[in-house]
Structure 1
């Protein structure tokens, strides 16, 4: 039994309030950070690694010079590189390309966040009531987050497969390069969400929609770490929040959410790369990545362990503000609809 000094009573807002609040937060966060999601997906994929191994830096007079990322700068330079890639996508493929896959992302994010927050918010109450005398602690948060992650991954994996395929589409169809900016014609030439769905069903069957599911389950650890750290940081910052008034409360909430996501992402990021590789389309009818451990061994053997962190800078630039926006809206909705 957890002591009263390390646990807090579980609030009981409307069960469906978690569902609505989570969906609203996820939608707003996804829209704001969509360009970073496109960059992250491309850097994770082997189909785009060769294209982005060097950075084109425009010079005065129309010339250019190729700059490779200095190893001494490491991750810090990757943030600069992300900015160059966003610029290149904008120049070469149009502004709309920065939001490729946003449709499936929203279709996936809204139910995914709704399910995750619904299962977590209600799960921790049920677990606490039945196993911890109605009080929260880290074990309650951990258990609820694990259940929520598994439920979310199982329900939404097909949507993420479609989103990944759409974001990788430009490179897999080089013969159609440039048509993406040609209005509706370009959209149909590349194939929208429905065309992508029918192609996966025709060529790969139902199993094609569940590629990367094993990596998604591995990624449940990220959600678990994020929720546990977030709850702990939120509790630690509660005193400062009360002293700072409304502004202090929101600052503490934003800081807790962003910090929790950063910590969880840094610890578990390689599963993101493995999941993207598993969801890649076949090239000339050949499927290169067939299983979680096969993909891990192959990536390390061919590209080195550093490749397991490909796209990390773009990922952090997306998920940290995304988490801050999402959790602030979620918490705000809970407080508006009834205190936790």
Structure 2
């Protein structure tokens, strides 16, 4: 009897559990560093505190709030203006505010997410679908990975958001008081402040919005798998065009998922804002949604979208490129 031919080689060999963990963390690390300035701008545009800094005093002492065009196209122009202003008024280092907590959060978050997804789809496929992967397997694995990741890393993102809003929060507080601004510290100072003023539950603000955002990761992973399959080299050689297709798949999947689910990002940022004059303005998912629409209009649910898109598309491309590269190596 002739021996059966060996199975055809594929571009991506089966990875061990820890390899997903390492590859995901490395991809998240690279993507976060490259796109950090846009993350700062996005957070400020999502926050209501940013709007307070647009207040200026007229000659007669009255308060004037400049009218800002509230359309998505203008947001791209505004992103450039904010990057310039942060560079001039706060120093180039301010463009990387919150990068420390971001890296502390991104590495475990991406490691956990890629680990949970990569292994989850294998477990689900073998347990419930005779070892075959399909769309519902990808959907289920992505949803489970999103919930695990959000629950584990939410405190880190609260600290990061507070750090990125420091400059505007300080300006808002000092505009209503004649006292000198307080010196604002780093991550450890922010952690102590949250714990002192809000208790342990303060580190889990925005968690409900994070769970709502699981839909984004689910759409992204499922669409990425489908697009990657379409661009895959049928001979399994993994040529240059397959890598180009993989990058395009990652960017496209992230774009579609972001546009569909973006409002949860704004709601999550509002929930994580620091106290203003000792008061909490945004208290829950539904209350925040209603309040933002009532005070600022539905368009405000897309505040910071331009900066976010300018960040997440290259971020996704870099992250998945590093992830797939490490798995293949």
Q: Are 1:311 and 2:304 matched, yes or no?
A: yes
Number of the residue aligned with 2:115: 118
Q: Are 1:159 and 2:166 matched, yes or no?
A: no
Residues 104 and 160 in structure 1, CA contact (< 8 A), matched pair in contact too: yes
Number of the residue aligned with 1:290: 283
Could you list the per-position Cα deviations for residues 271-292 of structure 1 after superposition, in whole angstroms to 9, with x for gaps in the alignment? 0000000000111111000000
Number of the residue aligned with 1:59: none
Q: Are 1:258 and 2:248 matched, yes or no?
A: no
Number of the residue aligned with 2:268: 275
Number of the residue aligned with 1:217: 211
Tell me, in whole angstroms, the C-alpha distance in 1 between the residues paired with 2:72 and 2:93: 28
Residues 53 and 172 in structure 2, CA contact (< 8 A), matched pair in contact too: no
Q: Are 1:234 and 2:228 matched, yes or no?
A: yes
- Structure 2 regions of 5+ residues with no counterpart? 1-9, 57-64, 175-180
Could you list the per-position Cα deviations for residues 117-144 of structure 1 after superposition, in whole angstroms to 9, with x for gaps in the alignment? 0000000000000111111100000000
More helix per residue: 1
Quote how far apart the aligned CAs of 1:51 are. 3.5
Task: Mark the CA change 1:159 to 1:334 in structure 2 (over 3 Å): closer, same or farther.
Answer: same
Task: Mark the CA change 1:205 to 1:77 in structure 2 (over 3 Å): closer, same or farther.
Answer: same
Q: Are 1:191 and 2:185 matched, yes or no?
A: yes
Tell me, in whole angstroms, the C-alpha distance in 2 between the residues paired with 1:310 and 1:153: 22
Structure 1 runs of 4+ aligned residues shifted over 2 Å read 49-54, 66-71, 74-77, 174-177, 239-243
Quote how far apart the aligned CAs of 1:237 are. 1.2
Structural RMSD (CA)? 2.4
Number of the residue aligned with 2:133: 136
Tell me, in whole angstroms, the C-alpha distance in 2 between the residues paired with 1:286 and 1:67: 26
Superposition TM-score, scaled by structure 2 size: 0.88
Quote how far apart the aligned CAs of 1:67 are. 9.4
Aligned length: 305
Superposition TM-score, scaled by structure 1 size: 0.85
Task: Mark the CA change 1:82 to 1:52 in structure 2 (over 3 Å): closer, same or farther.
Answer: farther
Number of the residue aligned with 1:57: none
Number of the residue aligned with 1:25: 27
Residues 36 and 96 in structure 2, CA contact (< 8 A), matched pair in contact too: yes
Tell me, in whole angstroms, the C-alpha distance in 2 between the residues paired with 1:252 and 1:241: 15
Tell me, in whole angstroms, the C-alpha distance in 1 between the residues paired with 2:246 and 2:143: 22
SS at match of 1:190: coil
Task: Mark the CA change 1:38 to 1:53 in structure 2 (over 3 Å): closer, same or farther.
Answer: farther
- Structure 1 regions of 5+ residues with no counterpart? 1-7, 55-65, 178-185
Tell me, in whole angstroms, the C-alpha distance in 1 between the residues paired with 2:69 and 2:270: 26
Quote how far apart the aligned CAs of 1:191 are. 1.2
Written as runs of structure 1 = structure 2, the 5 A alignment for 1:310-329 is 310-329=303-322
